[in-house]
A and B are shown apart, each in its own frame.
Chain A
Amino acid sequence: MIGSFIRNGFDRSAFFVILVLVAAAFVVPALALYTTPASPFHIPGYAIPLMGKYLTYGLLALSVGLIWGYCGILSLGHGAFFALGGYAMGMYLMRQIGTRGVYGDPVLPDFMVFLNWDELPVAWYGFQSFPYAMLMVVLAPGILAFVFGWFAFRSRVTGVYLSIITQAMTFALMLGFFRNNLGFGGNNGLTDFKDILGFNIQAPETRAALFAASALALALAYLICKSIISSRFGKVIVAIRDAESRTRFLGYRVENYKLVVWVLSACMAGIAGALYVPQVGIINPGEFEPANSIEVVIWVAVGGRGLLVGPIVGAIVVNFAKSWFTTGALAPYWLFALGGLFVGVTLFLPKGIMGTLGGGWTALKQRRASAAAEAGVSVTDTDGPDGGRLKTEPAE
């Protein structure tokens, strides 16, 4: 069952995307660890967590692309799920510090000692265990998404109203996490991590492993998303995107379908957050900022939401540009550039980078195919760039 589910989604384009990610997972760490700085192929150590961070953003963007591009749900609050996953990982990392904190308390993280707390809040129980923390990485965003989606989809909140309440959700969480007495470190958040699974978090090998984990997680998530959109479930969510009431009158429970993709997407965002935190070394309530979630939507739009690779490419390209921009004299103008990029893409590349490239590719193949047909050769391979299984364009 699972086998045929995966086989269904595993076409040529999926193979290519997964190949690139898996290759990156091994080649990039190898180049960083086993080449000398003199080598032209050397990747400097500082670049690894940076690139790893881009990949986690890619995963976050993929989660938004799945629900927005394929189910028409525009979330302006996905940063919240990312941050919750990040906090779950951060709590594990905090508890690994142990007696190495400034106050040397074996159980309580520094900020709790500082606040004169004398016992660990219940929410922190269990986080010394890595498997438990990883479960929470998925469950915390998953449960929030389930509760939110249950009410929102059942009461048929759609379109811009839904977007607004997702934004309100992340804003409310931000305010909550800023408060010291919520017990998650207040506005300083969680930081000063020492090690993960017993390995020094700063060591080049650990960073390389985290990079590889991010690339593999992205590859796996991509494969799952691809299989979903290639299944009948995928056809139903596209149907919901294009004609929701038609789908209802055919007897589909639209709210259930939306809930399933929504929760899945939130869990993916949570995993992205969990991989992000050890690579950047901090998680604070700023991650819940509404602006962050809006930025994700821009990455998706820039990359193209009609295809699953679009959001990934968009996240990497925009963040690479951001790093490049904000380290130079142009730093103060980054937000203008981002805004300009969004407007430009919306006006001139409504299908985003990948949608436009893909469209050109399909057109070229069609031209070749018809030329070949004229020449009397039968062309069986009519797959588009995304397998041709699901031709999607951004919903109106």
Chain B
Amino acid sequence: MVRLTPESLDKISKEPCDKPANWIKVGMSSCGIAAGADEVFNFLSEEVKKRNLNVEVKKCGCQGNCYAEPLVEVSIEGLPSVTYGRVNRDIANKIIEKHVIGKMLVNDCIYNTVD
């Protein structure tokens, strides 16, 4: 890795953060993992690979809504970013089929929209 200088830091920070792209983030802090986030993360990663989808599956920390873990935030171009809660394999599958492929939000699983 290259050593950072004040100039290079400045340059990176001017690039847009959170570029509009297709991604799925799984909350992987202790609370998420305790609720089964590991399985959800693996499932989503495998499905994305298997179906050759243009989506990046990423890990992130806890958003704070620990009661609804595992939390999965989904951002797909053309749809509002939303966070799904209490996600299990079944819901994760719906996220892939309905949200990512079908381009519509999944009913009854959204815990708070990201604003």
Q: Do A and B come from one complex?
A: no
